[in-house]
Chain A
Amino acid sequence: MTAAAPPRTTTVTLAVTGKELVAEGVATLTLARPDGGRLPDWTPGSHIDLVLPNGLTRQYSLCGDRWDAHSYRVGVLLETGGRGGSSHVHEQLQPGHLVGVGGPRNNFPMVPAERYVFVAGGIGITPLLPMVQQADLLGADWQLLYLGRSRRSMAFLDELAPYGDRVVVHAKDELGPLDLAGFLGTPAEGTRVYCCGPTRLLTALETACADLPPYTLRTERFVAEEQGAPARTAPFEVELARTGATVTVTPDVSVLEAVGSAGVEVLSSCRQGICGTCETGVLAGRPDHRDSLLDDAERAAGDCMYICVSRALTDRLVLDL
């Protein structure tokens, strides 16, 4: 080869290039490639996996500018009583540190509509912020209801200020509880309601939207609990069912590369878990999905994986190769 192949790992390693306390208990991190290169594209509603130096993996919504191909921004709420992910970010992580980043993936995509109502509860503002920017850019009719305990704890108020009265800020310590159904009223036909926030808020909104046409309400529950075991950093074994060969996948190579070195040709293309070319059947073991293609049900099924980026949760995977 005339061009040296870049090193490929499960996650890209990004550098923390900025850290800012933007509200009480809310820090934003800016992440970039150490070489300044382009990051994978994303759409509003996308999240990334942050693989923290302490071994924990957490999902955070991207809340920066998608036109900036060179940095990601996430907002992280310090969860008192959490299991150490957010406190690590708040207390340990500093500009210059390296973190593993998987994704981005979008389980909360924005659909085209004439009108949007966005409802954010607390840190639930993060996925909605790029949506608001996009709705505005498209000239859609939109409104944002942003709920929080107090203005001190609500991030991005300054970034939202230019939108004027399209943004309704409801701080509980000033205004008390909000009549959500009264606020919503009967949205005009074709309105899409996007909500991210604590379960209580989502449940209230589901009730308020119960009589609206199907697919009006779209929600994302932010998941404080970790979704799976932490991504393993230890090597694992991949058995190739058709040949019976077993290869060891070390942390510095992808499954694709490992099976390739064992002489098994698997076609790939994007090598970012975006295009799906390298789809491979999984016969046994649990994949650690790192792609941007599968939805939650497909990920849970675990019967296929994209071996350019995905790895293993179990010590051994048996692949249909």
Chain B
Amino acid sequence: MTVTPEAPAIEAPTSDVDPFSHEVLEDPMPMHEELREAGPVVYLRRYDIYAVARYQEVHAALTDWQEFPSADGVGLSNFRYEKPWRPPSLLLEADPPRHDAPRRVLSKILGPRALRKLREDWFADAEVLVDEVLSNGPEFDAVESLSSVFPLRVFPDAVGLLPDGRENLLPYGDHAFNAFGPANDLVAKGEPRVAELAGWVGSRCAREALTDDGFGAAIWAASDRGEITPQQAPLVVRSLLTAGVDTTVHGISAVLYGLATHPEEWQRLRANPALARVAFDEAVRWESPVQTFFRTANRDVQLGGTTVPDGKKVLMFLAAANRDPRRWEDPDRFDLTRDPSGHVGFGMGIHQCVGQHVARLEAEAVLHALARRVESFEVAGATRRHHNNTLRAFDSLPLRMHLA
């Protein structure tokens, strides 16, 4: 008997969708449903990758760092074969054992206990900002006035950045998240400024460029204690600056959008402001500011009844998993009576968002401040989406407030 070598058959259903087309980025839900219904694992012909859109498989791939490691990149680019555009992240693009120490250090610095001392200040800052915004009239663009403003007021200070150049943070983050996708027009749009922005971010990570009382200084202090190396410290600071701004901006937009379009949920929150944290996590589930991440099979791996071949990328649709009716009842509904625990909007497993408590605290501060003053609010005009290969975002979210 002779064996004819041939390309191994693709076991999974195949699809020709382009998850990174503008049409999909504008409204990804129909494609999410199509992929969820096609099967547990779907082969995407256009990019020669495997995709998972159901909760069970997304959760399984996220938590299985042994078989689906991150060090080959968590974007489409496969670091086995391609050079990354920047030195890989020690958090996001690293596996155990290299991932352990940076993660440990950062999770302590950004842990809920460490954030307690920021709480009072941030709540006061949010009160001031909401006062300012409302004093200019009942209608405003929530992106321009609140969600892109508040994180940039409190977070860079908490990191210990000096004032100059902070306007670079959002463009840098936007490009970094675009770069997880294919080399499309969105990536091309950012490329002219990559060197400049990456250079600026890099320069802000040095010990001398940081105040002595922020998260950045705490990271350098950990390197003084030998918990990470002095070579690792600036890259850990960089992770804060890359991942800590855009995501929070879009998360706050998402919760405002959810509450503006579900007035009864706003009434529930006003009656019980302690629901602010639940509201934010429900928004992270419902909108999934981080829509997708990739992993790479490090051998022929079984997933959802399909063999993902060694070295192939798996695209995990966090957003689709967060609305998988197999996991969530009435998943399209933004619902504060729901327990959103277990959503994968922050990821899951060893790479689960290390800054999630920071994001929650920021959102909580904004929602508390609004709840004190605003009886009800609604979307006041046409919303505009901001397209990004990884993020779900608004460019414009006009709101009209009715004061209490």
**Which residues of A line the B interface, CB within 8 A?**
1-3, 38, 41, 43-44, 66-67, 69, 109-113, 134, 137-138, 192, 215-216, 260, 265, 267-271, 275-277, 279, 293, 298, 304
| Interface hit among B190-198, B212-220, B251-259, B274-282 | B274-282
A269 to B285, CA, bound (A): 12
Inter-chain CB contacts under 8 Å: number:
89
Nearest B residue (CB) for A70: B66
**Which residues from B are CB-within-8-Å of A277?**
112, 341, 356-357, 360
**A269 B346 Cβ-Cβ under 8 A:** yes
A267 to B356, CA, bound (A): 12
**Which residues from A are CB-within-8-Å of B65?**
41
Is the C-beta of B227 less than 8 angstroms from some C-beta in chain A? yes
Q: Can you sample 19 A-B contacts with CB below 8 Å?
A: A2-B325, A2-B327, A2-B328, A3-B327, A38-B64, A41-B65, A41-B96, A41-B349, A43-B96, A43-B97, A109-B101, A110-B101, A111-B227, A215-B226, A260-B339, A267-B278, A267-B341, A277-B360, A293-B111
Is the C-beta of B24 less than 8 angstroms from some C-beta in chain A? no
Nearest B residue (CB) for A301: B113
The 3 closest A-B pairs by CB, nearest first: A215-B226, A279-B112, A268-B341
A215 to B223, CA, bound (A): 11
Given contacts A1-B329, A38-B64, A267-B281, contact A304 B113 (CB under 8 A): yes
Nearest B residue (CB) for A279: B112
A293 to B115, CA, bound (A): 14
**B341 A269 Cβ-Cβ under 8 A:** yes
**Which residues from A are CB-within-8-Å of B383?**
none
- Give A62 Cβ to nearest chain B Cβ, in Å: 13
Nearest B residue (CB) for A135: B97
A260 to B341, CA, bound (A): 12
**B113 A271 Cβ-Cβ under 8 A:** no
The B contact surface, by secondary structure, is: loop
Is the C-beta of B228 less than 8 angstroms from some C-beta in chain A? yes
**Which residues from A are CB-within-8-Å of B357?**
276-277
A64 to B62, CA, bound (A): 23
Is the C-beta of B100 less than 8 angstroms from some C-beta in chain A? yes
**Which residues from B are CB-within-8-Å of A268?**
341
Enumerate B340-359 residues with CB–CB distance to A below 8 Å.
Answer: 340-342, 346, 348-350, 352, 356-357
| Interface residues as binary, B47-89 with A (CB distance below 8 Å gives 1, 0 otherwise) | 0000000000000000111100000000000000000000000
**Which residues from B are CB-within-8-Å of A41?**
65, 96, 349-350
Nearest B residue (CB) for A216: B226
**A265 B278 Cβ-Cβ under 8 A:** yes
Cross-interface CB contact of B96 among A66, A109, A269, cutoff 8 Å: A66
**A134 B97 Cβ-Cβ under 8 A:** yes
**Which residues from B are CB-within-8-Å of A113?**
226, 229
**B64 A269 Cβ-Cβ under 8 A:** no
**B101 A265 Cβ-Cβ under 8 A:** no
**Which residues from A are CB-within-8-Å of B232?**
112
Given contacts A277-B356, A279-B113, A304-B113, contact A271 B100 (CB under 8 A): no
- Give B218 Cβ to nearest chain A Cβ, in Å: 15
**B341 A69 Cβ-Cβ under 8 A:** no
**B101 A112 Cβ-Cβ under 8 A:** yes
Given contacts A267-B341, A276-B357, A279-B112, contact A2 B326 (CB under 8 A): yes
Known A267-B360, A276-B113, A304-B113; further 18 A-B contacts with Cβ < 8 A: A2-B326, A66-B96, A69-B66, A109-B101, A110-B101, A112-B228, A112-B229, A113-B229, A138-B98, A260-B339, A267-B281, A269-B281, A271-B341, A275-B356, A276-B107, A276-B111, A276-B112, A279-B112
**Which residues from B are CB-within-8-Å of A43?**
96-97, 100, 104
A215 to B228, CA, bound (A): 12
**Which residues from B are CB-within-8-Å of A2?**
325-329
A43 to B101, CA, bound (A): 10
Cross-interface CB contact of A270 among B228, B275, B281, B352, cutoff 8 Å: B352
**Which residues from A are CB-within-8-Å of B340?**
267
Given contacts A265-B275, A267-B278, A268-B341, contact A192 B100 (CB under 8 A): no
**Which residues from A are CB-within-8-Å of B100?**
43, 109-110
- Give A254 Cβ to nearest chain B Cβ, in Å: 12
A38 to B350, CA, bound (A): 13
Given contacts A3-B327, A111-B226, A269-B352, contact A67 B97 (CB under 8 A): no
Nearest A residue (CB) for B349: A41
A168 to B111, CA, bound (A): 40
**Which residues from A are CB-within-8-Å of B112?**
276-277, 279
Cross-interface CB contact of A267 among B113, B225, B277, cutoff 8 Å: B277
| Interface residues as binary, B318-334 with A (CB distance below 8 Å gives 1, 0 otherwise) | 00000001111100000
Nearest A residue (CB) for B343: A269
Q: Which of B96, B97, B325 has the most CB of A within 10 A?
A: B97
- Give A285 Cβ to nearest chain B Cβ, in Å: 19
- Give A108 Cβ to nearest chain B Cβ, in Å: 12
- Give B338 Cβ to nearest chain A Cβ, in Å: 10
- Give B135 Cβ to nearest chain A Cβ, in Å: 32
Nearest B residue (CB) for A274: B352
- Give A7 Cβ to nearest chain B Cβ, in Å: 15
A112 to B99, CA, bound (A): 10
Given contacts A112-B229, A265-B278, contact A3 B341 (CB under 8 A): no
**B113 A298 Cβ-Cβ under 8 A:** yes
Nearest B residue (CB) for A45: B100
**A111 B352 Cβ-Cβ under 8 A:** no
- Give B233 Cβ to nearest chain A Cβ, in Å: 11
